[in-house]
Structure 1
């Protein structure tokens, strides 16, 4: 069997409400030479049934089912070991990829072999529709990546060989809900570079439930992870001011952070 150029990788758990939109946005891509690796992390709703139905309709879909809930990091690593493409494109189970996302990213990476990580800008949306957009740096430095908010996980496309080289995603509990930040830091630590396409090629679901999941525990883990990478990357100690900034968010109500987030990204949309 000839390997596809791209392996689209998705992990899902109990997302029967939105997963059809996410899957359809991949199956209708202008670029068609891909496989769709989907890891069901022991869903207890009808998610697995939906996946199996899609698998019968499109042979590019390969469904794997965890017999126990293992978590996102484990599911992504399991899926990566099943991927056969030159590139891996991440996708989340509640977001929507634009029609030409895969084509645009594939073309860029083929023309720019020095780039290992490729993201795009995004539209933020909730139950009321699109409310803003991102303005990620096109060519982030190692300090930018360390500060965070440089790449959006479900937009990322990277070389399968490169993520194998860095040891896949960290499965430690220390980076639960931070696996993407930790992974990008690890890429840069190993000398790989990333880039963001300027266009918005994915609609990113960010509603009130998204902010509720950002608990104080996860913020403390982020502070600890930033401190770890500050030391490993041998960055300036003066950058600890950004660690303090993240720590102070512990004392800010999630609704206030959500409101600030919406204002900032609404302004981005109008620029």
Structure 2
């Protein structure tokens, strides 16, 4: 089965992490025939140098250059449209894919022809890929995914492989700051798309570089509340669920960064 890998890079990415991430893709047990990397606005010289180097080494790489920085949602919006294959795997530019990730996901699509999206678990590390600090598991069955979506994101975004046609039918990625993926999964659920997560780790995720800091602040909470408001107005969640979820998330976002990190590491992860 042919498939594409979709990534997005912008000027503040770490060039070495970007290189390592792409390397983990091209060294898979089953390799993609297209790696589409969206350049979200102007990059710095080091990143352009890495882009040139990667293109010379891996001819399957193709770049989609955007005239300005649109943000992740619109970068992926344009990227999905530009991918040439029906199956598209997402990958972030600072993470490491487990070597048989694509093999496992392709097998699941073969076994379940009506499947629209397949994700999996992640482990998180700081700077050394072997220094695992936590693990995020996600629900596996369609029923569990729908229920989980009422309070938390049911997919680890960097692990998903999906069908282009069903993503486009749900409206594609849209601008929804920090909620681009969660909002898309919700719309796909409303479209009765079949979903699953594999009970295995597919990606090793880098959690350093201020990841927990970025998940704080009142503006982050306002974006979350906006999404849950949509769910409530659609009748997807009850008023009691809406109040509970938004209250918990507000507390999480206004906590000091060090306390939020502890909660993410020990309470919301394994």
| TM-based fold match above 0.5 | yes
Which residue of 1 is the match for residue 137 of structure 2?
135
Structure 2 distance, partners of 1:250, 1:124, is 20
Which residue of 2 is the match for residue 87 of structure 1?
87
TM-score of the aligned structures, taking structure 2 as reference length: 0.91
Query: Match for 1:229 among 205, 228, 231?
Result: 231
Question: SS of the residue aligned with 2:178?
Answer: coil
Is 1:118 matched up with 2:118? Answer: yes
Question: SS of the residue aligned with 2:154?
Answer: coil
TM-score of the aligned structures, taking structure 1 as reference length: 0.91
Written as runs of structure 1 = structure 2, the 5 A alignment for 1:1-271 is: 5-13=2-10, 14-15=12-13, 16-41=15-40, 42-127=42-127, 129-139=131-141, 140-171=144-175, 175-207=176-208, 209-214=210-215, 215-240=217-242, 241-264=244-267, 268=270
Tell me the number of residue pairs that the alignment of Structure 1 and Structure 2 aligns. 261
Question: SS of the residue aligned with 1:226?
Answer: helix
What is the Cα deviation at residue 34 of structure 1?
A: 2.6
Deviations 1:230-269 (A, max 9, x none): 2224432221211221122233112111012222367x2x
Question: Does the 8 A contact of 1:22 with 1:94 survive in 2?
Answer: yes
Call closer, same or farther: CA 1:84–1:220 in 2, change over 3 Å.
Answer: same
Structure 1 distance, partners of 2:265, 2:145, is 26
Structure 1 distance, partners of 2:61, 2:107, is 22
Deviations 1:17-64 (A, max 9, x none): 310110000010111243100011122242122112211221110012
Structure 2 distance, partners of 1:94, 1:136, is 21
- Please identify runs of 4+ aligned residues in structure 1 that moved more than 3 A: none
Structure 2 distance, partners of 1:54, 1:92, is 16
Structure 2 distance, partners of 1:54, 1:235, is 45
Question: SS of the residue aligned with 2:229?
Answer: helix
Structure 1 unaligned regions, length at least 5: none
Question: Does the 8 A contact of 1:121 with 1:199 survive in 2?
Answer: yes
